[in-house]
């Protein structure tokens, strides 16, 4: 189940970036479950990772290998290689060594990523046995196959492709991701991979990614659970004919805005595919004192099981939203200044139910697939948006049966 029509788009090729997939049979033998991504030699690479204290072995290894000018990414689904202790670290390193042997490179230039069940040993032998097939497939046009190979409980592959023009030269930006549950990035089981043929130095690329992630992947939540394996990688091959992007360049903001747009689009696809989701909710918090305050209020609403189940039932039980705002930790909040809206329907004003609110008006909005909840705090100028989805019967079923 997913919200809206979410067909995989036509993905343009990113010069200097190739992808290959194969079936290693990690958890099943029906679909491809490993992806190999190769970057041109001059490429730069940026990444952000989960802040979960029990972060997975591949996260540790990928962080360490970021200092060795990465050239290859290895991604597997079906097994998270998390909670696996020293063996997990050894297995992640062995996977990198397997890639190095196949491509003729160095293991330290391989970034490993895993997603799937936590606490089970990674079947390294299966992965390394499948690597030659993935290597043989390397092509600039396999974005759709790669997006499908990294899926776990996802119901559709997620991709975005965008072109911008700098000084008359085209730059392509592609993004794919997986994630449907355990989504509350803090940088869900979320993995995102973005590639561009722009030429840009690594420190500036890292700053660009960090800013984009903060306003995209860090503004979504399905269930409030931060995964052990979250990661988002931004690769820049430098193969485009456009001029190099520098911090003081007139082109940097254009490029940064485009990266932000791709990240936001991919992040929204994750929420549209939230486990069991039937509705997408945009929670817009306005008139907050600070961005942090606005995000805190937005996520308190988004994390409330009572709010999420009310939306699944199309029940305009606005008291649940009001209660979430009240426990969001906003100091000295003036209740009479707070306003709540469902789309254009004002439900709370002057400290209570709006005089002109009707249950039928609330019901009309709640029956929609996509709903905007607007909270006006009356305290300042800060505005932030958080995306979430409802909780349905299927969310419980999917997660209850995840390992069976």
The answer to whether position 9 is within a domain reads no
- The mean pLDDT value of the chain amounts to 92
The answer to whether the beta carbons of residues 234 and 209 sit under 8 Å apart is: yes
Asked whether residue 285 falls in the same domain as residue 223, the answer is: no
Return the number of other C-beta atoms located less than 10 Å from residue 10's C-beta: 9
Return the number of other C-beta atoms located less than 10 Å from residue 34's C-beta: 28
| Confidence at 404, pLDDT banded by 50, 70, 90 | low
Last residue of a domain, one of 235, 256, 272: 272
Domain that holds residue 144: 17-272
Nearest partner of 204 among 167, 238, 159, judged by Cα = 238
Q: Tell me, what's the pLDDT at 4? A: 79
**Residues annotated as part of the active site:** 189
The answer to whether position 33 is within a domain reads yes
Q: Tell me, what's the pLDDT at 75? A: 98
| Confidence at 395, pLDDT banded by 50, 70, 90 | confident
What is the CATH number for 367? 3.10.20.340
Range of weakest confidence among 1-5, 12-16, 108-112, 117-121: 1-5
Residue, of 69 and 189, whose pLDDT is higher: 69
Last residue of a domain, one of 237, 255, 272: 272
Range of weakest confidence among 135-139, 178-182, 195-199, 260-264: 178-182
Asked whether residue 244 falls in the same domain as residue 286, the answer is: no
The answer to whether position 11 is within a domain reads no
The answer to whether position 7 is within a domain reads no
Q: Tell me, what's the pLDDT at 187? A: 39
Asked whether residue 188 falls in the same domain as residue 310, the answer is: no
| Confidence at 115, pLDDT banded by 50, 70, 90 | very high
Nearest partner of 278 among 370, 341, 189, 151, judged by Cα = 370
The answer to whether position 315 is within a domain reads yes
Asked whether residue 262 falls in the same domain as residue 311, the answer is: no
Asked whether residue 316 falls in the same domain as residue 231, the answer is: no
Asked whether residue 246 falls in the same domain as residue 293, the answer is: no
Question: What is the Cβ-side half-sphere exposure of residue 79, based on CA atoms within 13 angstroms?
Answer: 24
By the 10 Å C-beta count (0-12 exposed, 13-18 middle, 19+ buried), 352 is classed as exposed
Question: If you average pLDDT over residues 23-39, what whole number do you get?
Answer: 96
Asked whether residue 146 falls in the same domain as residue 266, the answer is: yes
Asked whether residue 250 falls in the same domain as residue 368, the answer is: no
The answer to whether position 50 is within a domain reads yes
Return the number of other C-beta atoms located less than 10 Å from residue 332's C-beta: 6
> Could you tell me the pTM of the whole model?
0.92
- Which residue in this structure is represented by tokens 């979504």? 220
pLDDT tens-digit readout, 201-237? 999 999 999 999 999 999 998 766 656 678 999 999 9
Q: How far is Cα 80 from Cα 376, in angstroms, rounded to an integer? A: 40
Asked whether residue 287 falls in the same domain as residue 233, the answer is: no
What Cα–Cα distance (Å) separates residue 83 from each residue in 113, 121, 187, 232, 403? 14, 9, 19, 20, 16
Last residue of a domain, one of 227, 249, 272: 272
Asked whether residue 72 falls in the same domain as residue 112, the answer is: yes
- Residues written for the chain: 404
The answer to whether position 10 is within a domain reads no
Asked whether residue 212 falls in the same domain as residue 288, the answer is: no
The answer to whether position 156 is within a domain reads yes
Q: Tell me, what's the pLDDT at 153? A: 81
Question: How many structural domains are present in the chain?
Answer: 2
Asked whether residue 260 falls in the same domain as residue 291, the answer is: no
What is the CATH number for 229? 3.60.70.12
pLDDT tens-digit readout, 135-192? 999 999 999 999 999 998 888 999 999 999 999 999 999 999 998 655 555 534 589 9
């Amino acid at each position: 189940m997913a919200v809206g029509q979410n067909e995989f788009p036509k993905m343009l090729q990113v010069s200097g970036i190739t992808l290959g997939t194969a079936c290693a049979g990690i958890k099943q033998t029906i679909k491809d479950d490993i992806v190999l991504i190769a970057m041109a030699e001059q490429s730069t690479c940026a990444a952000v990772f989960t802040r979960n204290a029990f972060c997975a072995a591949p996260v540790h290894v990928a962080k360490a290998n970021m200092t060795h000018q990465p050239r290859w990414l290895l991604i597997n689904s079906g097994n998270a290689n998390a909670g696996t202790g020293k063996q997990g670290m050894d297995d992640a390193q062995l996977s990198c060594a397997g890639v190095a042997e196949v491509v003729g490179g160095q293991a330290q230039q391989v970034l490993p990523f895993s997603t799937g069940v936590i606490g089970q040993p990674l079947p390294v032998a299966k992965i390394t046995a499948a690597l030659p097939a993935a290597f043989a497939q390397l092509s600039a046009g396999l974005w759709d196959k790669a997006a499908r190979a990294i899926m776990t409980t996802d119901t559709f592959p997620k991709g975005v492709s965008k072109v911008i023009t700098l000084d008359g030269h085209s730059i392509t930006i592609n993004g794919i991701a997986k994630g449907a549950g355990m989504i509350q990035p803090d940088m869900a089981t979320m993995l995102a991979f973005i590639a561009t043929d722009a030429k840009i130095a690594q420190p500036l690329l890292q700053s660009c990614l960090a800013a984009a992630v903060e306003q995209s992947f860090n503004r979504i939540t399905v269930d409030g659970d931060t995964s052990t394996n979250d990661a988002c990688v931004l690769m820049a091959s430098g193969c485009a004919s456009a001029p190099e992007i520098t911090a003081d360049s007139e082109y940097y903001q254009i490029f940064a805005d485009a990266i932000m747009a791709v990240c936001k689009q991919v992040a929204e696809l994750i929420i549209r595919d939230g486990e069991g989701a039937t509705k997408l909710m945009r929670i817009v918090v306005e008139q907050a004192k600070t961005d942090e305050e606005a995000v805190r209020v937005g996520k308190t609403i988004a994390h409330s099981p009572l709010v999420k189940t009310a939306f699944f039932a199309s029940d305009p039980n606005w008291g649940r939203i009001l209660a979430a705002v009240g426990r969001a930790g906003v100091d000295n909040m003036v209740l009479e200044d707070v306003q709540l809206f469902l789309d254009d329907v004002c439900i709370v004003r002057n400290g209570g139910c709006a005089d002109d609110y009707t249950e039928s008006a609330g019901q009309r909005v709640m029956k929609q697939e996509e709903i905007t909840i607007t909270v006006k705090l009356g305290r300042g100028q800060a505005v932030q948006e958080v995306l979430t989805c409802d909780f349905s019967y299927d969310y419980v079923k999917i997660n209850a049966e995840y390992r069976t």
